[in-house]
Every structure is written in C-alpha cells, then in structure tokens.
Amino acid sequence: MTLQPPPPFPLSSAAAQVTFDRAELGAILAVYGRMVAMAEARDYAMSFLRDHAVFAIFRRTAETPLYRIEKRPALRNRQGQYALIGPEGQVLKRGQELPPVLRVIERKLIRAVD
C-alpha cells in the first residue's frame, strides 16, 4: 500500500475570501462617520465571505441594518460589483464604482440636515 501525498491547501484562507481594500473601506467609513455624527447610526458590522463582502450600518445593535454595502466581484462585468441595499432588502443603487453608490446615503444625510 503506497501513501498518497496530502491534497494541496490554499496558500492562505484570506485569499479565498472577498474583502474591501483600504480605499474602499476609507470611503465607507467616511460616510459611516458622518452618519454617527448626525446620530443616524451607532454600530456597524463587516462580513467577508468567499463570494462577497458586506459592510452593514445599524441604527441600533439589535435591529436590522439600515444599509448594507456589498461587494460582489462576480458581478463586475454585469450590473456592477458594488450594491447598496436598504433595510427591507431592496437594492437602492448598484454600480461599477463605490463613490456613486455611496452618494445615495450622502444625499439622504443632506436632506436630513435641511
């Protein structure tokens, strides 16, 4: 009986998941910071999975998120890899680049001030 070599392992578990890069996270946290300053948000959560990454913004910790910002690289050539999802699960904006998607939240913040 001959021994078989073990199956190859991925180089790292981080390579097998989708994440936000530093610039994307900076843009998201800038909008989140403005929401916190206006008392619109208090908490956030991040989830990095194999096929998508999610940044969820909460008004209170125990509630459903006000907004979810999702990054799905598989949709890059179709609808756009970024999506802004509302509290009921409706897609508010989808796009190829993150700043236009985040502008929807910024417009709502400006309306709240006025």
3 state SS of 103:
helix
pLDDT digit string, tens, across residues 26-46 = 999 999 999 999 888 899 999
* Cα 49 to Cα 73: distance, rounded to the nearest angstrom: 12
pLDDT digit string, tens, across residues 66-90 = 999 999 988 888 888 999 999 898 9
* Cα 102 to Cα 107: distance, rounded to the nearest angstrom: 9
At residue 50, what are phi and psi to the nearest 5 degrees?
-65, -40
Domain boundaries, the chain: 16-113
DSSP state of 93: E
* Cα 14 to Cα 35: distance, rounded to the nearest angstrom: 30
